[in-house]
């Protein structure tokens, strides 16, 4: 079978501490991404809402205009910071997510930008599934009070490595996105995300391992560092899982960077041992990847 991952790749997930000062957040992200690149990372990932505090009351205040693309530096300091940083670090960069405002729809989105080592924008993913939950006595949160959902699946081609998929946080709970991306040839599923102390303890690692197990691909979940002074307390525990659902590396709740070396051999070995890719029965049930899938907003 054709190689999904054309050559070995060093992945780094930056579990960033963020505060209320956007300029300071961007500067801090820069130092951490450069640190990861200096350790040999070819692909660096930042967490969800890495440029701002996470919370519905913060989205409008910190939102930036990304369209038409490219925006000006005034419209989106984060876009330009990420583009410049990818070029400076000479690495692929998945810019976690930032709050986006689109003048055309007058709506806000939770948006991830992926840049190549030349600083060129490769892909934009708006969070498809909004985080609206209510666990009595534990947590109630409704992103939909402020945000609107994106309307597409995001697969990004990194020419010398292969395809990856990017989605955001709550998107990980919907296995369809992962299944489609994997069947379309992605070797890695990346989810910048900020689970909380309730859902993080329950499901964070489980979701990462489940998506890896179902699809026999690598999975990376990148969280912000935990700040107990903040309104929203992130779980942390950024995690990289191999195609056999084994945890390769995982952090605790504090700021740090987690690394792993990904190779095609592990994907092939896993799929050879448990050959689900040749055993699916699409005459019994439908193949979700062949249905009506949207790749454009």
Q: How far, in Å, are 61, 128, 134, 135, 229 from residue 140 at the CA level?
A: 22, 19, 4, 6, 18
Residue 127 bears catalytic tag: yes
β-pair type (218-222, 43-45): unpaired
Mean pLDDT of 155-181: 98
Q: Return the structure tokens found at 248.
A: 């390769």
- 1 pLDDT above the threshold of 70: no
- Among candidate residues 22, 32, 48, 253, the one labeled active-site is 48
Residue tagged active-site, from 127, 163, 222, 266? 127
For residue 214, give the 3-state DSSP assignment: helix
- When computed from its CA atoms, the radius of gyration of the chain, rounded to whole angstroms, is 18
> How confident is the model over 30-53, as a mean pLDDT?
98
Q: Please give the average per-residue pLDDT across 40-67, as a whole number.
A: 97
User: Per-residue confidence at 2, pLDDT binned at 50, 70, 90?
Assistant: confident
Q: Two tokens at 243?
A: 């195609």
Per DSSP bridges, beta strands 9-15 and 43-45 are: parallel
Q: Which of 143, 169, 222, 253 is catalytic?
A: 169
Residue 23 is predicted with a pLDDT of 98
Q: What is the pLDDT of residue 27?
A: 98
Model pLDDT, residue 139: 87
145 is catalytic: no
279-295 pLDDT, tens digit each: 999 999 999 999 899 99
Residue 283 falls in the annotated catalytic set: no
87-91, 132-136, 146-150: least confidently modelled range: 132-136
CA–CA gap between residue 136 and residue 280 (Å, rounded): 39
The Cα–Cα gap between 81 and 76 comes to 9
Q: Across the chain, how many H-helices and E-strands are there?
A: 7, 15
């Amino acid at each position: 079978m054709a190689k999904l991952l054309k050559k070995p790749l060093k992945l780094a997930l930056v579990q960033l501490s963020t505060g209320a000062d956007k300029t300071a957040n961007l500067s801090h992200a820069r130092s951490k991404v450069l640190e990861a690149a200096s350790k040999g990372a070819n692909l660096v990932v930042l967490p969800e809402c890495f440029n701002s505090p996470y919370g519905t009351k913060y989205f409008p205040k910190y939102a930036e205009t990304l369209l038409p693309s490219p925006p000006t530096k005034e419209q989106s300091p984060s876009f330009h910071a990420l583009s410049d940083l990818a070029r400076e670090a000479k690495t692929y960069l998945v810019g976690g997510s930032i709050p986006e405002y689109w003048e055309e729809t007058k709506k806000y989105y939770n948006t991830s930008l992926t840049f190549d080592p030349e600083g060129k924008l490769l892909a934009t993913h708006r969070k498809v599934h909004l985080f609206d939950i209510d666990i009595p006595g534990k947590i109630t949160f409704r992103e939909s009070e402020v945000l609107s959902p994106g309307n597409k699946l995001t697969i990004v081609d990194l020419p010398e490595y292969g395809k990856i998929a990017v989605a955001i946080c709550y998107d990980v709970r919907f296995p369809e996105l992962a299944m489609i991306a994997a069947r379309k040839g992605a070797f890695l599923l990346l989810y910048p995300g900020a689970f909380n102390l309730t859902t993080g303890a329950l499901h964070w690692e489980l979701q990462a391992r489940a998506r890896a197990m179902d699809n026999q691909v690598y999975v990376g979940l990148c969280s912000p560092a935990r700040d107990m002074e903040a309104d929203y307390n992130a779980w942390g525990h950024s995690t990289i899982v191999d195609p056999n659902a084994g945890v390769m590396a995982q952090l605790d709740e504090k700021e740090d960077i987690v690394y792993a070396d990904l190779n095609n051999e592990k994907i092939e070995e896993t799929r050879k041992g448990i050959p689900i890719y040749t055993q699916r029965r699409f005459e019994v049930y439908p193949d979700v990847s062949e249905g009506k899938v949207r790749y454009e907003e």
